[in-house]
Structure formats: C-alpha cells, structure tokens
Homo-oligomer: A and B are copies of this chain.
C-alpha cells in the first residue's frame, strides 16, 4: 500500500513499546511492537529503541506517551493536575532533542492532589476513546482494568478525578506469594468467568463498608472448611478483587449505579468487568480497543503539531 503520512506515535510503557505510523487523515498505516519497555531497553537505550522501532519509516514528527515521560523515562515530563482536557494535556507536552529525532514530543501524565493519585498513558487512551465516541464527552466513567486499574471520571470532555486500584498486581502477589495461593494452581483461572468468580463478586458486594480486604482470608477459610475447591480459588479471588473495584466506585458515587461505564482494555479482561458491572447493577459497559493510537493522534492534533508537520510518501507492508 501507499499513503501520505505525517505522524509517528509511540505508546511507551514499562514492559513494551508500540509504534504507529499515521496517514494524513489519522488512519494507522503501519504498526510495530517491541519488548522495549522503559525497564527493558535495548543497548543504546531510549534513542536506540526509538530509532529501531521506526527504522525504515519516514522522519515524521513523533508523539510519545506513557512511562517514557516518568522519572525513570527518557525525559521527566511534569504531571498536569486534574481537571484536565485534551488542550491542557497537549500544553503539558515537552519536546525532546535527540540527534535522530528532530521533532519528538512526550505527553505528560496526570496528577490528582487528594487523594494523591497519578497516571501516565491512560490519559492518552482516554483522549483517544473520547475522539472515537464523542457522545462520552459529557459524563462517563472510563474503566481501564489491569495491573493498576484506573477508574476515571470524565465530565464535559475533561478528566475531573480518578481512582487507582492495584487489582492486577495484588491478584498476582496473592496467587504467587501468599498463603491464599499455596497449593492452588494458577491454571484454575478460566477464560470465561465461572461460578467461583461470581461467588467472589458476591462476597465483595456483601462485605459492604468493611470492604473486600476484610474477606481475603475467607478464601483460605472456605478451602479449609471444604466449601471451596482449590481449583476455584483463582476465580474466587479474581471476583473478590474485581468486585472490590465496583464496591469502591459505588461508595464514591453514593450508591448511584446509573453512571455510564466505558471499558478500555484487553477483551478477555473486559469480559470479567462486564460480568461484574451487571452484578453491581450497572448497564453493560461499552468496550473500546486501540485507544492509545487514537489518543496519540488526538494529542498531536490538539497541540497543533499536525498543522506544522511535513508529510511524506510511504509504501510499507509492516502493518
């Protein structure tokens, strides 16, 4: 294929690096992925990684987002404080001068003062999701499940507040290192949420204001009392921890589950969150994929980088 291109986007996290090459209309015409997260850089570091992943592509303006802008990243880009819209985020971008990248920008993360909270990368995904589904500008809660799940409130196109729940990390720690995972196979986790997952959700809900932290040990107690099979422990814990996210959200909203939810993330993980959302009385959330690519383009556009950037002809096969 052949296209006129004008931007490269880098989604640069802790464990992986993705690059997008955009046509002048914003369509992604080429995409590459490397295991070069900021903690797993190739020899030559950030500069070599960015040159490597864009090798053979035209020398377009580059916009990057994620942990690459953190203290451990290429250039620390100060957080922008919420509330923040695309314009505020774009204004916070910093330009990096590197020999091979004459025009490269890194997006800032977002900071919430109280309760103290930070994000890097998710703000870009959300801007991408808002561009795809402008009807969500008005009032929506974006949920980005994962190692550190983010629950992000958007109101009138601005990110106004967010919570982080360390669901994925705690789940992995409990299964791998705690008494709860002792003698339990991690393969017990099914691709489709089963009854034990629902039981975990129910336990989180029943815990009410005491919270799921007060129920963690029940996983062990149920096993010892022969009321939970060892194979079901992973699903039970998954339900308990994901349920805790919804319990917290309902506390924040005073029990109001009419807030529209929108999921951004991996499809099989999102499936769990759809089941949980229904269990907690929410309407089934929409799921948005590929939000980073859209978000990087959106930030570049908002920052005025597209207006000034050179266009190149590109004939590539690496999509």
Interface residues of A (CB under 8 A from B): 70-71, 79, 111-112, 115-118, 148, 163-166, 169-170, 173-174, 176-179, 203, 206-218, 220-222, 224-225, 227, 244, 248, 251-252
Contacts and interface: CB of A to CB of B under 8 A. Distances in A.
Given A166-B216, A173-B178, A208-B251, A116 B148 contact: no
Nearest to A179: B169
A209 to B, nearest CB: 4
A213 B211 contact: yes
Contacts of A218: 115-117
Contact of A116 (B163, B165, B221, B248): B221
B169 A117 contact: no
Task: Please give the count of copies of this chain that the complex contains.
Answer: 2
Nearest to A109: B224
Contacts of A71: 224
A225 B163 contact: no
Contacts of A163: 214
A140 to B, nearest CB: 20
Given A165-B213, A173-B173, A217-B148, A118 B248 contact: no
A106 to B, nearest CB: 16
B209 A251 contact: yes
A173 B215 CA distance: 17
Contacts of A220: 118
